[in-house]
Structure 1
């Protein structure tokens, strides 16, 4: 059999992975590299784009060397990436003019408030499906243009380019021959009109960003050029299957029918429901392009949770409440319930459905009997309540009811967390045995785009083992906990 292989790049907030995947959808090799998190000021987060690309080259070459006998059978390279993180670079030299500003960065909070006061919120929301918030890319670019000396004039002369991380990697991999992005990443910038499917002149004027800086927008399964960097020990294969990480996980979870939902647990969490068609919703949610495939655009609704996995890391590393995730599980199991203790993890503000960037974290309901076990439980529970907030809002806005939730990401190994999620939502929670779903989503799209697979039906056949959690909690208990959570939020909202 003439086997084909797909090389996938998964460029996330914390690091970069290269994966080699066969035609059965199985990962046969993986390499990883982490990059530095740069915090110039409180609430500011940056990455070095050069370091990220060097890591991309490093992990690709390690895969190539370890699998040298099948390098010539690699048929395409796919990319999934941390969304909203944005780079501005020199068109001639390829050097960034500033570090990448990361999706978590809150430096443009005041700028966003001013844009809202100038009554741009309705225009932006109608055209993009998003809300004006520091999370998205446009104000990050505006900040670079306004704050790096001489940059605005150079941008207006057409000397600079901008792009989310996928665009940056495509530009570097193709040796500057292709400046492109896909529809999912474009739809997260605040600059792309998700109805007319183009960069919107009115939006560009609002954010004062020259159109010449922007990449060409393609469907996720399109051809994004050839790998031409001579530092890479792989053939000059086509790049296809470019998609933002959250949408990629939705695709890999086979959420191809209206109302199918997934939650990806990383540093933050994206809870996303596939709607297929465009749904008009309030600013508490965002409408995103789920993917562009086979000439058609498909849509999803999403709620953004800024802080989930980061809560676990904070409790473990900064508060030193436990030394291992197994210890955290044991601590939580000591308690019959939370005894009224709630942790609101607004370390970088609150996302959907509150959109309150100025709210700060707090622990509510402590008594003298409160122990570290209560704090750990409250931290884990807060992840669940935030997911419930979003799915509840989607139902209220659209009547789209989630019948089950498919989940992935590091936090899914926590049995208490998954059971509590099923209990609070009152639906089945299905945990994929595959931890690399974002990468697989891009692989499936790239494989479809290069005819390794020929249909969605073929993708459905590439199944993997799953663990299912059924709800056990009674309705009255569930509602009591959730009401107390809402009260805790309201006591802190700014």
Structure 2
């Protein structure tokens, strides 16, 4: 029987990967390139669409060469993309009005703060609370505690609509098109034939209501976002993605899936059943639990997203995020705490503790349970006896502690009983962090033999659509677990005071930039960087070996 080949294209925050799998999900070819990030002004984090397109074309070519295959031999391809990163372009010419505005971009921070403090939003939340008390609707419960954040698309899009004149003119003439990265990429790959978005990517924008499964009319009205610029929202897999135009790689390649990166990794980890959990430790840490056909209404800041929709199969996920993980590792390396990230676990274990030093990992603010975009990064408790190894250990402990907090939020808000976590992402290669997560959560942690689950998830869903794989049970049987970490109860007990003291340290850094000069006014002068700007921009640089 002739083998089938599936190409997975994964476009992350810092890396573009093209991986080719055979029918047994063995990797037979792969290639990667770094995403070039641009920082034209304080808080702006952009990707040039022309540079990105060229890198995508190149990386697929290299993976085909690595596999000794031609595009004609690829059975089909799947695509996964970072979420929240968006662009707008001309319906007439196809040219963008600006660079990609990435999910790490905080140019709309002033708008986020103003809206979260506005009487309008407070009135909406109060009204939603009253409706929840009357109807007990989970949708109104979620709305009663809703706050805008920088990594949501909605306010950055609003900023663009008000500040980019060419876009404003195109909107008035109904010639503008909007899309997250998946939408733009599908538009380019198909020769400008489709303007669509997978439901998992759309649901992460705050423009799409997972409770109604429609674009949120209230958001369109409040922010003057015309429906005419929005893509059609489609299922996660199917023939509606059509094929690439032959001119790109020499032969048309059928596209059979497009999915958000975090839910792609759920497929890679085979989290198909309600209550199953995966944690991705890449640029940030993302804790996802399968909630089945019910979107989760959170009061602690967990986000309800559509994991996937395949015809009648609709699956939701509750997600908690800590936006700085690999960024923290890269920053610590840049200031000379260590030379090689691979050495950090050994360095951390060279000392018995942190000597009372604690680290707060908040370059992009703090997610659940704090949900504080004004929190600051810092070491607390440094003494004359503190050495580099103590600081390294404090950094790694903080990453583990934030993961534990996300787990605690999920446990507090849901009735799901889970006994294990499936881990992936570059930072999951760090044994010290992973073992500590297992110890403090009391959960068995499974790390796969190959930690890039996003690419594998694409191959899984494409293969299932094409009949290469017969069922989800077959996919589960092919899972390759590399290392299992088992909790050590005595370590959890030994860490009780350390974890409590770390949480006290975090509280001291919350609201920090409300007390000083807040990072909300975007200067038009490239050189007018404050110390805080420089710290934040340093954190947004290249992600290195640990990046997802």
TM-score, normalization by structure 1: 0.95
Match of 1:436 among 440, 452, 467: 452
Post-superposition CA distance 1:429-454 (Å, at most 9, x none): 11111122101112211222233223
Question: Which residue does the alignment assign to 1:103?
Answer: 103
Preserved CA contact (<8 Å) 2:245 2:251: no
The alignment status of 1:480 with 2:497, answered yes or no, reads yes
CA distance in 1, matches of 2:250, 2:484: 39
Aligned CA distance change for structure 1 residues 407 and 478 (closer, same or farther; 3 Å): same
CA distance in 1, matches of 2:4, 2:311: 21
| TM-superposed deviation, 1:279 | 2.2
The alignment status of 1:314 with 2:318, answered yes or no, reads no
The alignment status of 1:241 with 2:257, answered yes or no, reads yes
Question: Which residue does the alignment assign to 2:533?
Answer: none
| Aligned ranges 1:255-294 → 2 under 5 Å | 255-276=271-292, 277-294=294-311
SS in 1 for 2:19: strand
The alignment status of 1:489 with 2:506, answered yes or no, reads yes
Aligned CA distance change for structure 1 residues 87 and 358 (closer, same or farther; 3 Å): same
Post-superposition CA distance 1:367-395 (Å, at most 9, x none): 11111111111111111111111110111
Question: Which residue does the alignment assign to 2:527?
Answer: none
| TM-superposed deviation, 1:61 | 2.1
SS in 1 for 2:390: helix
| TM-superposed deviation, 1:299 | 0.8
CA distance in 2, matches of 1:330, 1:378: 13
The alignment status of 1:134 with 2:131, answered yes or no, reads no
The alignment status of 1:34 with 2:34, answered yes or no, reads yes
Question: Which residue does the alignment assign to 2:3?
Answer: 3
CA distance in 2, matches of 1:66, 1:388: 39
CA distance in 2, matches of 1:225, 1:465: 32
SS in 1 for 2:305: strand
Which structure has more RCO (C-alpha within 8 Å, separation ≥ 6)?
Answer: 2
Moved more, 452-461 or 10-19: 452-461
CA distance in 2, matches of 1:46, 1:401: 40
Moved more, 440-449 or 7-16: 440-449
CA distance in 2, matches of 1:95, 1:470: 52
| TM-superposed deviation, 1:478 | 3.2
SS in 1 for 2:248: coil
| TM-superposed deviation, 1:355 | 1.4
Question: Which residue does the alignment assign to 1:148?
Answer: 164
| TM-superposed deviation, 1:400 | 2.4
Aligned CA distance change for structure 1 residues 31 and 326 (closer, same or farther; 3 Å): closer
Preserved CA contact (<8 Å) 1:183 1:289: yes
CA distance in 2, matches of 1:300, 1:142: 27
Aligned CA distance change for structure 1 residues 293 and 225 (closer, same or farther; 3 Å): closer
Post-superposition CA distance 1:389-448 (Å, at most 9, x none): 111011111132431111111112212111111112121111111122101112211222
CA distance in 2, matches of 1:346, 1:254: 31
| TM-superposed deviation, 1:86 | 0.7
Question: Which residue does the alignment assign to 1:45?
Answer: 45
Question: Which residue does the alignment assign to 1:304?
Answer: 321
Preserved CA contact (<8 Å) 1:57 1:231: no
Question: Which residue does the alignment assign to 1:19?
Answer: 19
Question: Which residue does the alignment assign to 1:178?
Answer: 194
Preserved CA contact (<8 Å) 2:36 2:52: no
Moved more, 377-386 or 471-480: 471-480
Number of matched residues? 493
TM-score, normalization by structure 2: 0.86
| TM-superposed deviation, 1:363 | 0.7
Aligned CA distance change for structure 1 residues 103 and 69 (closer, same or farther; 3 Å): closer
The alignment status of 1:458 with 2:474, answered yes or no, reads yes
| TM-superposed deviation, 1:458 | 2.2
Preserved CA contact (<8 Å) 2:345 2:432: yes
